[in-house]
Structure 1
C-alpha cells in the first residue's frame, strides 16, 4: 500500500495543479471519485491486465464508463493508461482530496456514532467542531454499535473519544492503577 501511495503522489500533484490552474478543484475531485470507483471494479481491473486491450481501447473504455470528462481529464486518463497506473486511482483520488482540503483550509473529520445521527445533531456537532478547530470540516459519519453510546471523533491527529466504550476503558485503566 505504501508503494501505491508513492506511485500515486506525482499523479495527484499533477491533477491538483491542472485543477487549481483551471479553477476547477471541485469538478476534478468529482471526476477522480468516479474514476476511482471505476478502477476499483473487479471487471475493470481484469481489463487493466488484458493483453488484448490496446492502450487506446482501454483509455476509451475508462472515459466512456467514467462519464463526462473534459480534454485535460481525458488526457490524464490516457497518461495513467500509458504508464499502467490505473490501479492506483483510489490513492490518487485520496491524495488529491488531501491537497484540495489543505488548499481550501478544510480538515477531514471522521465521526463514529453508536447510533445514527439526525441532520440537526450532525449540523450542531459540525458547527461545534469547526469552532473548536477554527477550520471548515469535511465530515464522514459512520455508525459503530460497539461504541455502546456517544461518539468518537478523529480530526487529523486529534481524537475525541466521547463514547461509553472509551469511558469504560478509561475507568478500567484507572482502577488498575
Structure 2
C-alpha cells in the first residue's frame, strides 16, 4: 500500500469521524471497491487521458452520487490528481483504521453449513477475547471439504478445529 493511499484514508477517516459517518463511509467505500474490482474497464475509462476532467467528474457523480458525500468528494479529488488506482489501498487502510478505533477485527470462518447469528456471536466473543479485540466482523465461507467443525482465519492466524484437519493429523501420526 502506498503512502498516498494511507494519507487519503487517514484524511477520510478523520472527516468521517468528525461527522459521525464512519459506518456509512465504510459501507460506501466497500461498494466503490467492489465496483472497481468487478469492472476493471471503469478504472481504465476514468484514467483515460482522452476524457476531460469535467467528464470524469460527471461519470463519478452519476455512478457514486447516491453515496456518502465524503466518499464522492474523495473520488473526485483522486480523479483530479490521477490517483484512482489507489482506491483499493485507500479502502483497505480506511477499514483497518476504523476497525482499530472500534476494537474490531475481520475474520473468515470456514464451515460446512451457514452459521446462525447465535453461532456468529459466540465465535466473535470467544475469539475476540483471545486476540485482545472487542469483537470480530465475520465473513462466513462454506467449505464442505472440512467434513465438520470450523476453520477460523483472523489476519495471518488460523484456528482449525475441522474434522478434516484432525483426520490429517491422525493420519500423519499413524504413518509417522
Q: TM-score range by the shorter chain?
A: 0.7 to 0.9
1:80-95, aligned counterparts within 5 Å?
Answer: 80-95=78-93
- Whether the aligned pair in 2 keeps the contact of 1:39 and 1:86 (CA below 8 Å) is no
Deviation readout 1:61-99 (Å, 9 max, x if unpaired) = 122212324554333112211222222312211111111
| Stretch deviating more after TM superposition (20-29 or 43-52) | 43-52
For 1:151, the equivalent position in structure 2 comes to 150
3-state SS of paired residue (2:56): helix
Q: CA deviation at 1:48?
A: 2.3
Partner Cα distance (2:54, 2:17) in 1: 27
Deviation readout 1:100-157 (Å, 9 max, x if unpaired) = 0000111222101122223343333334334544521111111112222211012234
Q: CA deviation at 1:175?
A: 3.5
Partner Cα distance (2:68, 2:61) in 1: 10
RMSD (Å) for aligned C-alpha atoms: 2.3
For 1:11, the equivalent position in structure 2 comes to 8
- Consecutive unaligned residues of structure 1, counting only runs of 5 or more, are none
Q: CA deviation at 1:14?
A: 1.8
Partner Cα distance (2:18, 2:60) in 1: 24
Q: Which ranges of 4 or more aligned residues in structure 1 deviate by more than 6 Å?
A: none
- Consecutive unaligned residues of structure 2, counting only runs of 5 or more, are none
For 2:45, the equivalent position in structure 1 comes to 47
For 1:136, the equivalent position in structure 2 comes to 135
Partner Cα distance (1:63, 1:106) in 2: 32
- Whether the aligned pair in 2 keeps the contact of 1:39 and 1:87 (CA below 8 Å) is no
Partner Cα distance (1:62, 1:83) in 2: 14
Distance 1:136 1:126, change over 3 A: closer
TM, length-normalised to structure 1: 0.83
Q: CA deviation at 1:13?
A: 1.6
Q: CA deviation at 1:165?
A: 1.9
Q: CA deviation at 1:25?
A: 0.9
Alignment partner of 1:29 is 2:39: no
- Whether the aligned pair in 2 keeps the contact of 1:38 and 1:66 (CA below 8 Å) is no
